[in-house]
Structure 1
């Protein structure tokens, strides 16, 4: 059986790390357009995974606080992707 709560906990820790690291990455004057595109793609992939995780938690009947945590994770990745998209737009 899949331990959705363990996956949520792991992904939340990763999301917190990304929330700290992405601004530093984007603030690096030497970051290339290719690196920004790669970062955007990775964040979009994470946002999609977080959405699937949230749906799996809902289907599994987890309590509302767990679902809320998954929603926050999904929003975090979507917000980070939006910030990276803005950086990419500014580079073009």
Structure 2
């Protein structure tokens, strides 16, 4: 049986790391448009994965606090993707 809570914990640790690293990457003056596009794509894929994880947690009846943690992780990835999209938009001007 899949340990959804363990996967959530692992993904939360990755999300915390991304939350620290993405702003640093975007602040780097040498980052290229291609790198920003790749970062955006990776964040979108991660957001999709976390959405599926949240749905699985809901389906299997996990506690509200677990579901809420998954929702916060979804929001984190959405916020990171939005900041990357803004950077890309600014680079294209």
Query: TM bucket by the smaller chain?
Result: over 0.9
Flag structure 2 segments of 5+ consecutive residues without an equivalent.
none
The size of the alignment, in residue pairs, is 92
Deviation at 1:7, TM superposition (A): 0.2
Residue matched to 1:77: 77
Q: Does 1:56 align with 2:56?
A: yes
Report the equivalent of 1:86.
86
Aligned pairs (5 A) from 1:6-85:
6-85=6-85
RMSD: 0.3
Q: Hey, what's the Cα distance between the residues in 2 that align with 1:23 and 1:66?
A: 27
CA separation in 2, counterparts of 1:15 and 1:48? 13
What does the per-residue CA deviation read over 1:39-91, in whole Å, with 9 as the maximum and x for residues that have no partner?
00000000000100000000000000000000000110010000000000000
Q: Distance in 2 between matches of 1:43 and 1:16?
A: 13
TM-score, normalised relative to structure 1: 0.99
- Alpha-carbon distance between aligned partners in 2 of 1:44 and 1:78, rounded to the nearest angstrom: 8
